[in-house]
């Protein structure tokens, strides 16, 4: 019986270790960065023949408030001017600059909240989601730069470490490694899109931290029944094994 209990304990520990490690090193559901999603929809409208500037403006207006809040009024002034003059290429380029600044904003948020694993991972995931929208643009011009940025995002994710579950799968965070990856990503984006450093003063940091920390990733939301299913299945299997062994001994 002791042997069975030992096997079951090891099975549970292995499960939690693998489950937690897989989650720690995957981007999960970043809940889609709204600005990046708006950019992709705008490009679809602008690629029509003729470009649909009316719908493009409607899409931009869904994220204008967020952009104004975090980046100041200048970006929107440029976008609105491009829309009025129906400057397709300039509009797309300015939106790409906004995305580059947004990545800088997200990574700066990670830097500031590095000790808070859940918040840092959420912000990094949003930055990564934003880069996915820019990746095709960079890959077309400089494939090596695109590969490098993607690799640095992966390194940045590993640098966050892993808080583990009940001490299982714990891995120490490495802030210096994160900063190195952040610098490479931001330097490359500034080189490609001719942007300056994102100024943290352009948005309310405390509000950003509060709203981000209150969000739950799909895999950490314990109110979601599906996140309990693996544990329930394992408990059922263990219970079945115990009952089988007891009956067999009788």
- For residue 150, count CB atoms less than 10 angstroms from its CB and return exposed for 0-12, middle for 13-18, buried for 19 or more: middle
pLDDT in tens, 66-111: 999 998 899 999 999 999 999 999 999 999 999 999 999 999 999 9
Q: Whole-angstrom Cα distance, residue 231 to residue 229?
A: 5
Q: Answer whether 0.75 is exceeded by the pTM.
A: no
Q: Whole-angstrom Cα distance, residue 223 to residue 225?
A: 6
Q: Whole-angstrom Cα distance, residue 156 to residue 178?
A: 5
Q: Is 171 helix (H, G, I), strand (E, B) or coil?
A: strand
Q: What is the DSSP letter of 197?
A: P
Q: Are 156 and 185 in contact (CB under 8 A)?
A: yes
Q: Are 33 and 102 in contact (CB under 8 A)?
A: yes
pLDDT in tens, 191-224: 999 887 655 333 333 334 434 433 444 333 434 4
């Amino acid at each position: 019986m002791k042997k069975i209990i030992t096997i079951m304990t090891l099975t549970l520990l292995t499960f939690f270790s693998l489950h937690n490690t897989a989650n720690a090193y995957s981007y999960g559901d970043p809940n889609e960065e709204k600005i990046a999603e708006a950019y992709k929809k705008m490009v679809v409208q602008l690629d029509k023949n003729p470009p649909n500037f009316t719908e493009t403006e409607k899409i931009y207006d869904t994220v204008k408030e967020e952009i104004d809040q975090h980046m100041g009024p200048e970006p929107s002034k440029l976008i609105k001017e491009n829309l009025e003059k129906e400057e397709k290429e300039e509009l797309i380029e300015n939106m790409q600059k906004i995305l580059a600044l947004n990545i800088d904003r997200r990574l700066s948020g990670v830097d500031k909240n590095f000790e808070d694993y859940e918040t840092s991972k959420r912000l990094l995931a949003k930055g990564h989601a934003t880069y996915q929208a820019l990746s095709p643009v960079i890959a077309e011009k400089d494939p090596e730069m695109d590969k490098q940025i993607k690799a640095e995002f992966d390194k940045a994710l590993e640098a966050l470490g892993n808080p583990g579950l009940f001490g299982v799968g714990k891995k120490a965070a490495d802030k210096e490694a994160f900063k190195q990856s952040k610098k490479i990503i931001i330097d490359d984006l500034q080189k490609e899109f001719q942007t300056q450093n994102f100024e943290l003063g352009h948005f309310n940091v405390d509000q950003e931290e509060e709203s981000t920390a209150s969000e739950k990733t799909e895999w950490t939301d314990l109110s979601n029944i599906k996140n309990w299913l693996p544990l329930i299945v394992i408990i059922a299997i263990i219970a079945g094994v115990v009952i089988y062994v007891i009956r067999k001994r009788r």
